[in-house]
Amino acid sequence: MEFLRKPNAMLGLLAVVLGILALAVWVPADTGSGLVEKARGKYRIGDALAPAVAFSLLIFSGLLLLWETRSKPAQQLITRHHLVFTGGLLLIFALSLAAMRWTGPMAVALLGAGGEGAGYRELRDTVPWKYLGFALGGSSLVGAFICLASRKLRLRFFLIGLAAALAMILLYDLPFDDLLLPPNGDV
């Protein structure tokens, strides 16, 4: 188990352990329903779906880190490159979340789509308004992360981000009538 002395292997193992603990202990104790509920013949998202998906991705990511570090030599724990990369990730994340949060309300305000006295809050569950922020913020988040990781700026990366955002809309929003995509539930 020499490879567990590598920083990435330790991080991967920590992610796997925390993800399993969260799925086994925290999610069942903190949620009132299962992954999906059936009420009056309709399927609804349960309280545990989003955290279960997130922690499953955490476990999968930890396993990938463990697999990747099997044959690599140990590295210095933290370098200047790591700090710059992490700063870039945080900046991309903040800007993408801001785009996700403010695109819909700004579009409604600029286009006057809300009518007299109506605003984004009244339109946040109608097409196309409910998808604008999620599609733009999600596309920019994924595309910019790929650009940062590959150190290349390509339109293709943002198209991949758009495809990912559209796939999440298809998987999460269309099957469930009572779901509001982020950030619409908080607006």
Same domain, 54 and 85: no
Q: Which domain holds residue 145?
A: 78-187
Digit-coded pLDDT (tens) for 10-50: 889 999 999 999 999 988 888 877 888 887 777 777 888 88
Contacts of residue 173, defined as CB under 8 A and 6 or more positions apart, other chains included, come to: 130, 131, 179, 181
- Note the pLDDT of residue 97: 95
Distance CA 87, CA 11 (A): 19
Same domain, 84 and 42: no
Same domain, 106 and 146: yes
Distance CA 138, CA 164 (A): 8
Token pair in block for residue 50 = 């989003």
Helix (H, G, I), strand (E, B) or coil at 176: coil
Number of structural domains, the chain? Answer: 2
- Note the pLDDT of residue 187: 59
- Note the pLDDT of residue 123: 87
Give just the sign of the alpha carbon dihedral 82, 87, 90, 95: negative
Same domain, 60 and 107: no
